[in-house]
Amino acid sequence: MKQTAIIAGQGALPRLIAAALDGRGEGYLVAEVEGFPSGVPGERPLRFRIERLVPFLDHLSREGVRRVVLAGALRRPKLEPELFDPRTAALVPRLLGAMQAGDDAALREVIGIFEQWDFTVVAAQEVAPELVPEPGLLAGELTDQDRDDAERAAGIAAALGRLDVGQGVVVAQGLCLAVETLPGTDAMLDFVGLNRGIRSGEFLPASGLLYKAPKPGQDRRVDLPALGPETVDRAARAGLAGIAWEAGGLLLLDRDATVAKAQENRMFLWSRPADRP
């Protein structure tokens, strides 16, 4: 019996969760929203539609699932009203109200629905704790300006997080160059590179940093910030000197490759101890 279900979005995280469970010999099933393949290797995934959410939850219960892990990126799918079954339709007002309040509120409501069906929702970092780096410097070196920029960025990220805006910010020389909004981290970094006049192959002294942190009060069972080698590459193309994050509040998706990419680009990676209140 497979007691764990990975509700898999896109990106590397669902595959890493599956590998962690495989490594411990724990059975699991993979479920994907139709149209958003996760790429988790192995058995054919169970696909479902949001419009048929209640039958899907009932199916998980019949399969003996007792806990779920929500892992990976997922864009909001286009909903087809004619496909809703009556029981799922009854949940729509709850979901729409939460979505209008922001991503964090929507995810809390999703967790609440799973718990209503007696599933235990567990965090990705609980299943694979090795994905969370300890405090300290993983690559490169820090200057006093880098430390000041990180402190400034942490304050901005906390203020934006309280408004449920985003989990990332770019700061250079004490100036906020960009904040993460709905388009995501990649779009933010592309914006920074474009507005600093940086072009591929052009040499400019690197400065500033990308900072990532969970939102204050966020339920850390879902949507924890993540970092992989692709983001390091994008930050380098944006002319940044490094990346910092709140220690304990970020998933490092491919540590060896991410550190190697930072070293290749002469960037720092800093798991920064969280500020004390």
Q: Tell me, yes or no, whether 183 and 211 share the same domain.
A: yes
d(CA 274, CA 269): 15
Q: Tell me, yes or no, whether 85 and 190 share the same domain.
A: no
Q: Is 277 inside any structural domain?
A: no
Domain count, the chain: 2
d(CA 65, CA 28): 8
Final residue belonging to a domain, choices 127, 145, 160: 127
Q: Tell me, yes or no, whether 17 and 122 share the same domain.
A: yes
Question: Which of the 8 DSSP states describes residue 130?
Answer: G
Given pLDDT bands bounded at 50, 70 and 90, which one contains residue 197?
Answer: low
Given pLDDT bands bounded at 50, 70 and 90, which one contains residue 199?
Answer: very low
Final residue belonging to a domain, choices 127, 154, 173: 127
Q: Alpha-carbon torsion 162, 166, 167, 169, what sign?
A: negative
Answer yes or no: are the C-beta atoms of 47 and 32 closer than 8 Å: yes
In the chain, where does DSSP find H-type helix? 13-23, 53-62, 86-89, 92-100, 103-116, 124-127, 144-162, 185-195, 229-237, 255-264
Q: 228: domain CATH number?
A: 3.40.140.80
Angle (CA) 51-87-73 rounded to 5° is: 35
pTM of the model: 0.87
192 lies in which domain range? Answer: 132-272
Q: Tell me, yes or no, whether 140 and 229 share the same domain.
A: yes
d(CA 20, CA 161): 30
Q: Tell me, yes or no, whether 119 and 174 share the same domain.
A: no
Q: Tell me, yes or no, whether 19 and 79 share the same domain.
A: yes
Whole-number percent of the chain with pLDDT over 70: 93
Q: What pLDDT was estimated at residue 201?
A: 46
From the list 177, 173, 265, 167, the residue with the least C-alpha distance to 224 is 167
Q: 107: domain CATH number?
A: 3.40.50.20
> pLDDT digits over 107-123, tens only?
888 899 999 999 999 99
More confident: 145 or 274: 145
Tokens of 276: 């004390």
